[in-house]
Amino acid sequence: VKVLLSGGSGFIAAHIVDVLVDHGFDTVVTVRSEEKGKRILDNHPNVPKEKLSYVIVEDVAKEGAFDEAVKSDPPFDYVLHTASPFHFNVQDPEKDFLNPAINGTTGILKAIKAYAPTVKRVVVTSSFAAIVNPQHPKVYNETFWNPITWEEGLQPSNVYRASKTFAEKAAWEFVEKEKPNFDLATINPPLVFGPIVHYLNSLEAVNTSNARVRDLIQGKYKEKLPATGIFLWVDVRDVALAHVRAIEVPEAGGQRFFVVSGQFSNKQIADVIRETHPELEDKLPPKDSPEDLSPDTYVPDNSKSVKVLGLKYRSLKESISDTVKSLLAVGA
């Protein structure tokens, strides 16, 4: 059974590759350069060539970007689409975020419909960003949608959330209107922590969602906890497994999954690091820092992902401890 995974060099995708290979899928990843593709293969020396390979898709925003990548012999059975920009360096909201997120998603779906009729299901990595609603209910599940408008989305502080919301909407609309041979599932995680893979990362370029853990162990918040809060999190290995379960479980078709472990606070992260890595104590915020988890923080409901995908979520302690280990291994 053969799977195409877009954005193979990403933080989450690197873990999806491992789950796919482990579950016996023949896996082809898309990457933006030969160099990244080679690095992935070099770091899976025991996986035979026919089980893991790469194709180049330089820019998912370009018209027809996936037209060649989706053609394969033997043909693909499933596609996982993770490639989408996730950073806070906004120069041009449309060019940097909205186009690659939206056109990347519709582009891969169009290419599959036109050139890969054997594909039975596509799983798109969406986000809690496509669920969160400023007039939020206390308890969140996957029935909620971010009501953001295009104009609001053009503001740099909103553009990432807008890009995920519009991309996911476009995917569901495509399937409804075009009635392709495949069905769709989306995975909607909040902030993702967890180990980085050493072969794709440097400390400077650590992926966006782990940046606060790096900053904490480098002493950036020695005086005071970070002011920023998101307060819902999930481990990258659980997110990776969710993607693969979403192709393995027939009932996942047509479903959206809020893949979330629970609430966290910056104080809790610092306390986990203090406990599991006492040698980092002098880099951490003061032990008696006030708890920064607000009582108004959203309450996540992950019951659908547990029931349908069979997920068992890792604890914050395991996730943060393993994140720190992986960051120390690349030189933090």
Given the rule CB under 6 A, which residues bind ligand NDP? Answer: 7, 9-13, 32, 36, 57, 59-61, 82-86, 100, 125, 127, 164, 189, 191-192, 207, 209
Q: How far is the CB of 286 from ligand NDP (least distance, A)?
A: 27
**Using the 8-state DSSP alphabet, how is residue 119 labeled?**
-
Q: Nearest approach, Cβ of 65 to ligand NDP (angstroms)?
A: 7
Q: Angle 159-178/99-115 helices, nearest 10 degrees?
A: 20
Q: Identify which of residues 224 and 324 has a Cβ nearer to ligand NDP in the complex.
A: 324
Count of Cβ atoms closer than 10 Å to residue 31 Cβ: 25
List the structure tokens of 156: 């740099």
240, 12 contact by CB (below 8 A): yes
Of 37 and 285, nearer to ligand NDP (C-beta) is 37
Q: Which long-range contacts (CB under 8 A, 24 or more apart) does 276-284 make?
A: 276/317, 276/320, 276/321, 276/324, 277/217, 277/321, 277/324, 277/328, 280/217, 280/324, 282/219, 282/222, 283/216, 283/217, 283/218, 283/219, 283/222, 284/216, 284/217, 284/219, 284/221, 284/222
User: Which residue lies nearer to ligand NDP by CB, 119 or 197?
Assistant: 197
Residue nearest to ligand NDP (CB): 10
Residue 80 or 280 having the CB closest to ligand NDP: 80
Q: How far is the CB of 228 from ligand NDP (least distance, A)?
A: 13
- Identify which of residues 215 and 289 has a Cβ nearer to ligand NDP in the complex: 215
> Minimum distance between the CB of residue 293 and ligand NDP, rounded to whole angstroms?
18
End-to-end CA distance of the chain: 39
Whichever of 13 and 171 has its CB closer to ligand NDP, that residue is 13
DSSP structural state of residue 98: I
The CB-of-126 to ligand NDP minimum distance in angstroms stands at 7
Report, in Å, the least distance between residue 179 CB and ligand NDP. 25
